[in-house]
Chains A and B, each alone.
Chain A
Amino acid sequence: MRPMSALIKREYLEYRRAFLFAPCVLLAIFTAAALFAIVAGEAIFDLTARQLPSGVEIYQTCIGIVFVSWSAYLLIGLFFYYSDSFSADRRDNALLFWKSMPQSDLKILTSKALAGITIFLGLIFGFALLTAILVYLMLLIITAQHSLITAPGLIEAVWSFAEMGVVGAIYLVLTLLWHAPGLAWVAGLSTVFQRWSIPLAFLIPGTVILLEYINSIGGSTRPIADFLTWRIHGFPNKADALAILLGQAEGGALALVGLILADIDWLHMGIGLIFTAAIIYLASEYRRRRIDA
């Protein structure tokens, strides 16, 4: 356990710019932009108080948007992370240093894979919670400016924050696991092709889909394109989720957990994780046979 923790910490030290410093900058930009909009902007509401959702509903919807946005950042960040980290040890001849340590190639690559779902996910979850707190503070400012919107009281806000925190954590973890095969795909390509992994990650399936489209002009189906589109689309159903958050459907925020769990195709989740494990194993076997940079 100790070596794995040390190896994951090593990933943090090498990639903290993407998962700590860059989110800090993004959050600062978001805060500045939002405050500027609130203070200097003009109200364009054209709604009556009746039509508006309650303060709690607005707040939990905002937190939902925050988690979806940060999950997008996490996926993009991890895509670039895996496109680099699986071949990073080959830079500066460092591969031989890592091979002089009593850790197998499989364990080292596993630590890279786990870093995404532990420390980097944890950091982004922390940023999402921080953003949610900032959103509440902004709602308070808006409430002071416009009588139409009322921010939830502190106790209601804390409760919404806690509920949506649980929902958000589950959403982030499951989103990451759902998209793990795509991340493993670019990681595996990185192990072999290093920096070319990013264009290849799109070029290879793109070429397959193009051939499929050419072949389907006569009317046949396009199973690969359809499968990948469905896979990328993910879960849950956005309209259903929004209905729950805005109080238009039964159940509180925690009902979202049920919706997420119900919307996941668990068979495909399992197949995807097996595919991910297989890619990591094959990458480790390739790495085991590499000694040059």
Chain B
Amino acid sequence: MTDTAIIASARGLTKSFGRKDVLRGIDFTIPAGRIFGLLGQNGAGKTTTLNALLGLTDCSGQIEVLGLAPFRHRANLMNNVAFISDVASLPRFLKVRELFDLIDGIHPGFDREKAGELLQGTDVQPNLKIKTLSKGMLAQLHLAVVMAIDAKLLVLDEPTLGLDIPYRKRFYRRLIEDYMTEERTLLITTHQVDEIEFILTDIIFLHDGAVILDTSIEELGSIFTQLVVDPDAQAEAEKLEPIHTETRFGETVMVFKNVPSEKLAPFGRASTPSLSDLFVTLTQHQNTIPGDT
């Protein structure tokens, strides 16, 4: 991978609010053409990390997005970065048409025609006031706006919060079908991990202001294995040092790190853990995997 393919990178990123350390020296690199999921519990530091990437907050340490220091060059950076932070953030006093006129005037990368095309077939009409739109329509409009911006990095912070399931599915399908290309990079944070699992290529887990996992989805299966343990093999399986053990519906489930699934197969049903299971495992037991980033 060459330097030019790196969209964003952070080294030793720290941020404190008063005495509370929100980010504790995190490192990560985001290459081009990938779909990153930034996952973590409430208060893990996700939004602060995104704000640092978008130049909305100043942090200690090194951070670069598209070769620029985000806080110092936010306005310039936004020529190539688009983000949805909250579906309710569009200016409510404008009509849809006026919003497009405005963005057309202030964003050189905005394609007004494309935005209009993206809204065809929806209930979002050009003469509607934004304040009259439903939450779902607002999400469609906001997505149309950011998809009509020719940005290299698109950041979505809980973009489907409060939307019902059909809207959420349509939102992500549209994103993948109409937006993603090899040159574009997507960074998503959400609590609805299961809904985005199928589109992610990479994940970063944050816990208590630190990165506890940073890997590609392809590598995930070779690092972590989930084992539904046969009742008579529990003692043998425990000898292989699972990082997490729990009981689900009467069955014992263990998660192993760096243990080949062939080695685990004799003790039960081995599989790759889902992101939500892995998320729970690592956030509850991250102390058992020191230095894993």
On A, residues with C-beta under 8 Å from B are 2-3, 5-7, 9-10, 13-14, 91-104, 107, 288-289, 291
By a CB distance below 8 angstroms, the chain A residues around B5 are none
A87–B188 Cα distance when bound, in Å, is: 29
Q: Tell me the count of chain B residues lying within 8 A, CB to CB, of chain A.
A: 34
The 6 closest A-B pairs by CB, nearest first: A6-B105, A102-B78, A104-B75, A96-B85, A97-B89, A3-B106
* Distance in angstroms between the alpha carbons of A93 and B103 in the assembled complex: 18
Query: Please, what's the 1-or-0 string for B67-103, where 1 marks a CB less than 8 Å from any CB in chain A?
Result: 0000000111111001111101111111000100111
B58 part of interface (Cβ distance < 8 Å): yes
Given contacts A9-B102, A289-B58, A291-B57, is CB(A102)–CB(B89) below 8 Å?
no
User: Do B106 and A6 have beta carbons less than 8 Å apart?
Assistant: yes
CB contact between B56 and one of A5, A99, A104, A107 (< 8 Å): that residue: A99
- Other-chain residue from B83, B93, B101 in contact with A14 (beta carbon distance below 8 A): B93
A101 to B105, Cβ gap below 8 A?
A: no
Who on chain A is nearest to B77 by CB? Answer: A102
Contact A102–B94 (Cβ < 8 Å): no
| A6 and B103 alpha carbons, distance in the complex (Å) | 8
Alpha-carbon separation in the docked complex, A95 to B181 (Å): 29
Known contacts A93-B86, A291-B51, A102 near B106 by CB under 8 Å:
yes
| A107 and B79 alpha carbons, distance in the complex (Å) | 15
Per the bound structure, the CA–CA distance linking A92 and B86 in Å amounts to: 10
Q: How long is the Cα–Cα vector from A7 to B102 in the complex, in angstroms?
A: 7
Residues of A within 8 A of B84 (CB): 100
- From residue A10, how far is it (CB to closest CB) to chain B in Å? 5
Whether A103 touches B83, Cβ cut-off 8 Å, given contacts A6-B101, A13-B98, A291-B51, is no
Main secondary structure of the interface of A (DSSP, over half): helix
Q: Are A102 and B108 neighbours in the complex by a CB distance under 8 Å?
A: yes
A3 and B78 in contact, given A93-B89, A94-B92 (Cβ under 8 angstroms) = no
Q: Does B269 contact A (CB under 8 A)?
A: no
Q: Does B169 contact A (CB under 8 A)?
A: no
Q: Are A3 and B58 in contact (CB under 8 A)?
A: no
Q: From the candidates B76, B92, B105, name the one contacting A9 in the complex (CB within 8 A).
A: B105
Q: A100 contacts which chain B residues (CB < 8 A)?
A: 54, 78, 82-85, 146
* CA of A210 to CA of B261, assembled, Å: 81
CB neighbours (8 Å) of B11 from chain A are none
Instruction: Report the Cα distance A239→B128, complex, angstroms.
Output: 53
**Residues of chain A contacted by B76 (CB below 8 angstroms):** 102
Per the bound structure, the CA–CA distance linking A103 and B107 in Å amounts to: 8
Which A residues are CB-close (under 8 A) to B77? 102
A78 CA to B92 CA, complexed, in Å: 22
> Which chain B residues lie closer than 8 Å to A92 at the CB level?
88-89, 91-92
Most buried by A among B54, B82, B102, B109: B102
Closest chain-A Cβ to B284's Cβ sits at a distance in Å of 30
Cβ A101 vs Cβ B89 within 8 A? no
